[in-house]
Amino acid sequence: MIAYNTTYKVSWAVATAWLAWLEQEYIPEIMASGIFERYALYRLLGQDDTEGPTYTIQYFTVSKERLDTYLTEFDPGLRRKSQQTWNDQVIGFSSVLQQMRE
């Protein structure tokens, strides 16, 4: 199993609106790609939340090849949409993980 992990630092000024947008629009669009079987959304604890909360989302797929398809065909447009909507109020980065054991 491959996990595509995205981590976001969100400004308090937009935190509530961003979380609603994430759950109602952004994640459903990603899942509609058909690439991922499931996802999990977390809020990081033990972080300095002075400037806003930190969230991470893990999207799970069966192979690196399927993830590569997502990254080529879907991610650029969705990433651009997110940046246009939230500008510098949300800062994110992504990483790829390979599950070794369950």
- What's the pLDDT at 48? 86
Q: What is the pLDDT of residue 56?
A: 97
Structural domain boundaries in the chain: 2-98
- The mean pLDDT of the chain is 95
Query: At residue 92, does pLDDT exceed 90?
Result: yes
Beta carbons within 10 angstroms of residue 21's beta carbon: 16
End-to-end CA distance of the chain: 10
- What span, in angstroms and rounded, lies between the C-alpha atoms of 59 and 44? 16
The pLDDT of residue 100 is 92
- Dist. CA 50–CA 36, nearest whole Å: 33
Convert the pLDDT of each residue in 13-42 to its tens digit.
999 999 999 999 999 999 999 999 999 999
What is the average pLDDT across 6-14?
Answer: 97
Handedness of CA 8, 12, 14, 16 (dihedral sign): positive
Determine what percent of the chain falls in helix, strand and coil, rounding each to the nearest 5.
40, 30, 25
Q: What is the pLDDT of residue 102?
A: 79
Kindly report the CATH class assigned to 2-98: alpha beta
